[in-house]
Amino acid sequence: MMTQRKEQKVDNSSKGRPRCGLCGNTGKLITTECCGQWICDDADQYVMFSYTRNCCYRNHDRYTLCSYHYNEGHKGDWKECPKCRKDFETEIYVWYGTNEYNFEKLADPPKYDPTKCAKCGKIITLGEDGYCQTRGQYFCEKCGGLGL
């Protein structure tokens, strides 16, 4: 869910100009609603249903516990939130808390067994790979009929 964003004017004329905390760019920036970090104001660049992950704002907003915690209205620090922990299976929780779209990462993420395709046994990285899920089982793209 995309939150309403506050655009802030950025003075890029000085050497100490703000940078996106994810990619380092100094162009059009805003601060995140969830954690107040500078980030590229690039959500409008995302092409619907392309599934690309080249937009800093969208990546932080869609793929982090920080943003999820904020958008759900949870109290306290996202890194210690029992509601956030309960809302995701462990692999996804760890990925949302440690991926490259975070400004701050979980210091001690919980351990989990990798997810494997129920048909061929291939390891599926739930935060990165394509897969399908049915009746509590996961299938890789090939076995799930999603193509290669």
Per-residue pLDDT reduced to its tens digit, 31-46: 999 999 999 998 888 7
Task: Verify that 79 and 121 share a domain, yes or no.
Answer: no
Task: Verify that 7 and 25 share a domain, yes or no.
Answer: yes
Residue-level pLDDT at 94: 98
Task: Verify that 70 and 128 share a domain, yes or no.
Answer: no
Q: Which domain holds residue 145?
A: 114-148
Q: Which two tokens stand for residue 141?
A: 């793209």
pTM: 0.82
| Residue numbers in the chain where pLDDT is lower than 50 | 1-14
Task: Verify that 86 and 108 share a domain, yes or no.
Answer: yes
What is the count of structural domains for the chain? 2
Residue-level pLDDT at 87: 98
Phi, psi of 40 (to 5 degrees): -60, 135
Residue-level pLDDT at 147: 59
Phi, psi of 8 (to 5 degrees): -120, 140
